[in-house]
Structure 1
Amino acid sequence: MDEIYAAAGSAMPYLLLTLSALIWSGNFVISRAMNNVIPPAGFVFWRWVVALVVLLPVVLPRLREQWPIVRANLPLVGISGLLGVTLFNFLIYTAMHWTTAINAALVNSAIPIFIIMFARIFYGQRVMLRQHAGIALSLVGVAAIILRGDPSRILTLTFNRGDLLVLLAAIAWGLYSVAIKRYPQGLNPFVFLFSMTVCGLVLLIPFYGYEIARGHVMTFNLPTVLSVLYVGVLASVVAFTAWNHGLRQVGPHVGGQFVHLMPAFSTIMAVAFLGERLQSFHVAGIVLIFAGIICATYKVKG
């Protein structure tokens, strides 16, 4: 029985990272669907306002006790808010106005590469051969889905300024994921998320103000409200908490590989909810992605 509990405990970080990828796949789909209805800065703003409202009852009783830890780590909190709340979300939502889903998924798959690169630069963290092999397998799986099993389709791909924004968002997320390695001991995860959200919203105000000044405002109706609630509660509070916890347990160079699950989950969602047909290249891509993650995360006992 003790071995079962130990196995469940060791698997939990990977389950949390998988849950994050699943939820963010839904966020990716919603952001594409709503890009003409909800302006990007407004989407980010209301998303994180909802998150703050959800977090407030949990954080308020702990904030006074935890404030000394937050104050001592304000640079980390501020940087996390800038990268994870302000820049990443704003860049992704803005990019959806110009780029295609195929290009966004392709560029977004560079995130694990950036995480490994930044972990090497800032922490001197080395990557083992099997982890390189796992990354390569996952990338091949992503490419199989994006190119629909036809390598010649890569010749027809074109890139625009939206793709550049996705690339900048990937860099921001890579830096955020590496920064989490410095997570302060003893800080409640909800207090940390609340604090970085406040910082991120403050930094977002100039972008949101400029957007409103140009007359771009969100129309409040059932689809927009439901979309904001999804990204505010699930994609912000649940997914960020799960991602932060999983990443602290396994490290950014391993946890980052779970980003590759997003194209796989997006495919499954399209089949389940949009009636799209599951094809052989979908299956091959999903199998390769999971094989790559297993290869990158499997620990040899000895």
Structure 2
Amino acid sequence: MPYLLLTLSALFWAGNFVLSKWAAASIPPVALVFWRWVVAFLILLPFTYKKILEQMELIKENIKFLLLFGFLGVTLFNTLIYKAMHYTTAINALLINSFVPIMIFLVSFVLQGLRASRYQLLGAFISLTGVAIIIVKGDISRLLSLKFNPGDLLVLLAAFSWALYSVLLRNLDKRLNPLVFLEVIIILGLILLFPIYLFSEKSFALDYKNVIVIFYVGIFASVLAFICWNRGIREIGANKGGNFVHLMPVFGTIMSIIFLKEKLYLYQIVSIFLVFSGIFLTTKD
């Protein structure tokens, strides 16, 4: 079950990258982050408000930790990603994002003294190879022409914030209801984001395209993806679960074939095989 949950997270987040790039020219990044989480907050509220009141003492007890989760997972990560989409290419963003599992290994080693097993290291390398093949479209010369810009650095910072978020999840107080945890970090993340939102560009057309984007990122990329990711990571740990982010460019390729009518090339088939093989090794005990 945790493997299915983490796979669904990757699917929903792949759509988030595609739609945020699509909306980059029409919705300011901070506005997209803000309204994404407002939608998520409103959807969760009917299911969580009673439980939040019941667990208020527990929330107060863990408030510093929850503030950190809200900052890393809600405010910082999403703002950096949406801002980066205005400067960097999809190729660069996906390549940098694929380093999240490696960052998770490093953060786990520093903070928790955990070491990756040989299967996890081999699986991470194989998955990363598969992701790289997708990103460079089977042409290694593309890798040599990559240039880093401010957007690339923003994605790198976002990847680090997500790695830290994922590692710290294992230490979350088990008494906290998962939905209560998500709703509380959304509230705290919005509080931290609100001053930035007030002083940033926030106007955009409320047309069907932008409404679709906001509701998708608010429901699928926020509520459903976070529930799946948090549950999966808490069950199998960040070291194993982190490699599932490699599925994002795989799903991105599939989405392009279905919705954009692009052709499936041999290098894409090879890379998808490598990614799934890597995840199998990474999750092997």
TM-score bracket, shorter-length normalisation: over 0.9
Cα drift, residue 162 of structure 1: 0.4
For residues 255 and 13 of structure 2, what CA distance do their matches in structure 1 show? 12
Letter in 2 for 1:109: S
For residues 144 and 105 of structure 2, what CA distance do their matches in structure 1 show? 28
Letter in 2 for 1:141: G
Aligned to 2:247: 261
The alignment status of 1:228 with 2:214, answered yes or no, reads yes
What is the number of residues matched between the two proteins? 285
Cα drift, residue 152 of structure 1: 1.6
Match of 1:43 among 32, 46, 51: 32
The alignment status of 1:119 with 2:108, answered yes or no, reads yes
Cα drift, residue 206 of structure 1: 2.2
SS of match in other structure, 1:276: coil
5+ residue gaps, structure 2, are none
Aligned to 1:92: 81
Aligned to 1:60: 49
> After TM superposition, where is structure 1 displaced by more than 6 Å over at least 4 residues in a row?
none
Alignment of 1:1-302 (within 5 A): 12-212=1-201, 216-299=202-285
Percent identity over paired residues: 49
For residues 10 and 241 of structure 2, what CA distance do their matches in structure 1 show? 11
SS of match in other structure, 1:97: coil
Matched-pair contact (CA < 8 Å) for 1:180–1:248:
yes
5+ residue gaps, structure 1, are 1-11
Letter in 1 for 2:207: N
> Which shifted more, 146-155 or 15-24?
146-155
For residues 243 and 55 of structure 1, what CA distance do their matches in structure 2 show? 16
Cα drift, residue 37 of structure 1: 0.5
SS of match in other structure, 2:40: helix
For residues 163 and 33 of structure 1, what CA distance do their matches in structure 2 show? 18
Cα drift, residue 219 of structure 1: 1.8
For residues 143 and 120 of structure 1, what CA distance do their matches in structure 2 show? 25
Cα drift, residue 218 of structure 1: 2.2
Q: TM-score, normalised by structure 2?
A: 0.98
For residues 210 and 292 of structure 1, what CA distance do their matches in structure 2 show? 44
Matched-pair contact (CA < 8 Å) for 1:76–1:179:
no
Aligned to 1:4: none
Letter in 1 for 2:47: V
Matched-pair contact (CA < 8 Å) for 1:119–1:125:
yes
For residues 285 and 87 of structure 1, what CA distance do their matches in structure 2 show? 30
**Residue deviations 1:134-191 (CA, integer Å, cap 9, x gap):** 0000010011111111112212212211000000000110111111111112211111
